[in-house]
């Protein structure tokens, strides 16, 4: 029996769900999944603010989970799908973990390290990552745009960013509360 590989859009939709979970926690909406033999073995979204940990970008969370799942730091049979072009830190981790293919959604002209500002996968390193971009990029960009518009609007209204963030975390109940309604929905 042959298993039909799922299209990149399928996995990117799962990454977008992760990004939406980040937005509900007042985190910049970026999400990622790591896929191994047609299965998600790592998923994550940005948690930098909630945990006050600069390394908790979506890709890092997903990569860590995947390594834990396989019991190995080598992810050479894995593909990573992320909604936004990885930064220098994440692009470094992607190369280090030997990820086979990186698929990202929208470009990040300010901090993207996979073609926009620099191109880490193109450096003459020990491992070559295949890169594909632009998958469901409009959905990813729309999420980011909505998030920053809402943030600007709320910053103009009473609360400071940190008090608003606290409210979001309280309303979300826990860091894993993916199904809870958006506390900032109109």
The distance of closest approach from Cβ of residue 129 to Zn ion in the complex, given in angstroms and rounded to an integer, is: 15
Contacts of residue 36, Cβ cutoff 8 Å, sequence gap at least 6: 66, 69, 70, 75, 77, 78
Catalytic positions are 59
| Local structure of residue 6 (DSSP, 8 states) | P
Number of residues that bind Zn ion (CB under 5 A): 4
Burial class (CB in 10 A: 0-12, 13-18, 19+), 130: exposed
**Rounded least distance, CB 177 to Zn ion, Å:** 23
Smallest gap from residue 73 Cβ to Zn ion (A): 18
43 binds Zn ion (CB under 5 A): no
The reply to whether 93 sits near Zn ion by the rule CB under 5 A is no
Question: Of residues 62, 66, 90, 102, which one binds Zn ion by CB under 5 A?
Answer: 90
Nearer to Zn ion, 33 or 90 (CB): 90
Q: Say if residues 72 and 104 touch (Cβ distance below 8 Å).
A: no
- Tokens standing for residue 95: 């190369």
Among 45, 47, 57, 164, the residue binding Zn ion under the rule CB under 5 A is 57
- Of the candidate spans 34-42, 49-57, 96-104, 146-154, the one that interacts with Zn ion by CB under 5 A turns out to be 49-57
As a whole number of angstroms, the distance between CA 151 and CA 156 comes to 9
Member of 34, 75, 87, 102 binding Zn ion (CB under 5 A): 87
- Sheet containing 78-84, strands listed edge to edge, beginning at the edge strand earlier in sequence: 39-45, 31-36, 78-84, 101-106, 130-133
Q: Give the footprint of Zn ion on this chain (CB under 5 A).
A: 57, 87, 89-90
């Amino acid at each position: 029996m042959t298993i039909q590989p799922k299209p990149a859009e399928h996995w990117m939709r799962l990454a977008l769900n992760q990004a939406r979970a980040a937005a509900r926690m007042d985190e910049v909406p970026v999400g990622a999944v790591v896929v191994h033999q047609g299965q998600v073995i790592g998923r994550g979204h940005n948690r930098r603010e909630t945990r006050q940990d600069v390394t908790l970008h979506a890709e890092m969370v997903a990569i860590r989970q995947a390594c834990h799942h396989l019991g190995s730091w080598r992810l050479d049979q894995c593909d990573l799908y992320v909604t936004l072009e990885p930064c220098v830190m994440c692009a470094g981790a992607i190369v280090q973990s030997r990820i086979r293919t990186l698929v990202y959604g929208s470009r990040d002209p300010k901090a993207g390290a996979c073609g926009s500002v620099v191109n880490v996968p193109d450096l003459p390193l020990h491992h070559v990552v295949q890169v594909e971009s632009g998958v469901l990029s409009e959905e990813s960009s729309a999420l980011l745009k909505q998030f920053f518009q809402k943030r600007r609007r709320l910053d103009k209204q009473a609360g400071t960013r940190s008090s608003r963030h606290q409210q979001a975390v309280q309303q979300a109940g826990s860091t894993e509360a993916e199904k809870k309604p958006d506390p900032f929905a109109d």
